Homo-oligomer: A and B are copies of this chain.
């Protein structure tokens, strides 16, 4: 029987990784998952991910797919992988997918969360790995107004890292909001869109926090959404506050199901 794709729901602490994507001589999440699959199956199996998280960025719900022989039950595969993977990568779920499943192309939207701490203890040993400790008061009302302005379809060229020319820089943002954290003093920025450009969430958070600190006016954001020069954006927020939380796919009943 031909192998059929298994979808893996992955969590990882990005702190000790050079990002998701396989790179020679670097420790990457894709590399660790492929190494574990190779040990399990005896041959190389390429792993495709829904999103290329950068060095230092975490995931609570990255989705990856690999062609695995039918004899492997997804739950048995999940357990076997967890026994082989290092402590900072964990397979939270696994299920069979339809042939041809492509976690990147078939995704409808992604959700990211960026965590900010506003007290001194956010720089303590238990929290500093997974949040950005910002100093000084942040105006939550300003942050919320700025986030509301992101919803809709906009060009994010000036709010992402420069890279190769693209067909377009438009992203459709379905939701963008700030929530007060319950676990510690601070805020979380939640954003869901059909796609994200390189470092887009970090550029957004860097600029929004500057607005919330009163260091630049709210009006700058609209300018940036019409511009193409990321030197006008604030420096991107550090990677360790960012989590890829979820990737959404068509349900089997949706028309677009592959």
Contacts and interface: CB of A to CB of B under 8 A. Distances in A.
Contact of A125 (B88, B120, B121, B183): B88
A90 interface: yes
Contacts of A128: 87
A128 B90 CA distance: 10
Contacts of A126: 11, 13, 58, 60, 130
A19 B132 CA distance: 28
Contacts of A123: 82, 90
A130 to B, nearest CB: 7
A89 interface: yes
A124 interface: yes
Q: How large is the interface on A (under 10, 10 to 19, 20 to 34, 35 or more residues)?
A: 20 to 34
Interface string A82-103: 1000011110100000000000
Contacts of A90: 123-125
A12 interface: yes
Given A87-B128, A89-B125, 11 more contacts: A11-B121, A11-B125, A11-B126, A13-B126, A60-B126, A82-B123, A87-B125, A87-B129, A92-B121, A92-B124, A183-B183
Interface string A1-30: 000000000011100000000000000000
A89 B130 CA distance: 16
Contacts of A129: 87
A98 to B, nearest CB: 26
